[in-house]
Amino acid sequence: MDLRRLTSFLAVVEEGHFGKAAERLFRSPASVTAHIKQLEHDLGVRLLDRSPVRLTPAGERFVGHARSLLAALDAAVADVAEAPAEPTLRVGVMSNGSAELTPAVVQAFQRACPEVAVEFLALDFTEHVSALVQHRVDVAFVRPAPVDERIAVDVVTTERRIVVVPASWGLADAPAVHLDDVLDLPYVSLPEHTPRQFSDYLYFADARGGLSPHRSRSHAVTPHEVLTTAAAGRGAGSALESFQRYYPWPGTVCVPVLDAPPEHSVLATRADDRNPAVRTFRSLTTSLARELGPRLRLA
């Protein structure tokens, strides 16, 4: 039964007038009249006398049912609106995350918790803390490890460092380089609000003795922007070794930095998060990192 016919019927009953009922419902008088006629046709009885407007005996009996039907619908809508939302885990991923371990963990989590939906958010270089503390993600695969009392960290991979350079630079022909070979390169510029830990990581700050890096005029907050800058011959970037497996890019070369200390990719979560899905995800991450890391040559 078309609910519009019921609302038109009840409005006419309560207003005692077809025109006033139409105004109340923001409908035309003709549509209200048509609804009443269609309802009477469906039921096979006359519900209203027209002049003056009043209920027939059948209408008297039906009006209570009509009110009950609409009340039941309102109750159903309210009940559904109060139902808990589908549980969701939001996973932030910076760059290529923790390499092959990232999809392995997500797949294991989906098998363990099929009732929890998983959503992904790509994180740029400025977000490895902010996305968590602003509750835009629940867990995040990032690098380097944040040092922040609000953030809990689980190391997932430990990898060799590389530099990403234009294929046209002489450095691109070297099978490997040392820190002294890369400290004076013009690196992509990062926004001022980039966390200090990430900029120190990108620019090999520990090896600079306090000296500032040379910065390209090109800015970057994503791996694609780093690669585009390098392909255009306008600057260099740095990353973990697994980066080159995920981002083969024409016009760029990834070169290992032999004496750069290895760096971690980590799973970061809010330190005070008691969400059972987050705890499960963390547990699976640390277990798979121990089990699969050596096989993937990431540990």
Architecture per CATH, 3-81: Orthogonal Bundle (1.10)
CATH class of the structural domain 161-256: alpha beta
- Tens digit of each residue's pLDDT (9 = 90 or more) over 96-107: 999 999 999 999
Task: Judge if pTM exceeds 0.75.
Answer: no
pLDDT at residue 126, as a whole number: 95
> Who contacts 147 (Cβ-Cβ below 8 Å, separation ≥6)?
197
**CA separation (Å) from 127 to 67, 112, 143, 215, 221?**
54, 28, 11, 21, 10
- Tens digit of each residue's pLDDT (9 = 90 or more) over 245-286: 999 999 999 999 999 999 999 999 999 999 999 999 999 999
161-256 and 3-81 share a CATH fold: no
pLDDT at residue 104, as a whole number: 95
Query: Is the peptide bond preceding residue 144 cis, with omega within 30 degrees of 0?
Result: yes
pLDDT at residue 299, as a whole number: 41
- Domain coordinates of the chain in residue numbers? 3-81, 88-157+264-292, 161-256
SS3 state at 50: coil
Question: What angle is formed at CA 98 by the lines to CA 97 and CA 104, rounded to 5 degrees?
Answer: 105
SS3 state at 63: helix
pLDDT at residue 292, as a whole number: 82
pLDDT at residue 3, as a whole number: 82
CATH class of the structural domain 88-157+264-292: alpha beta
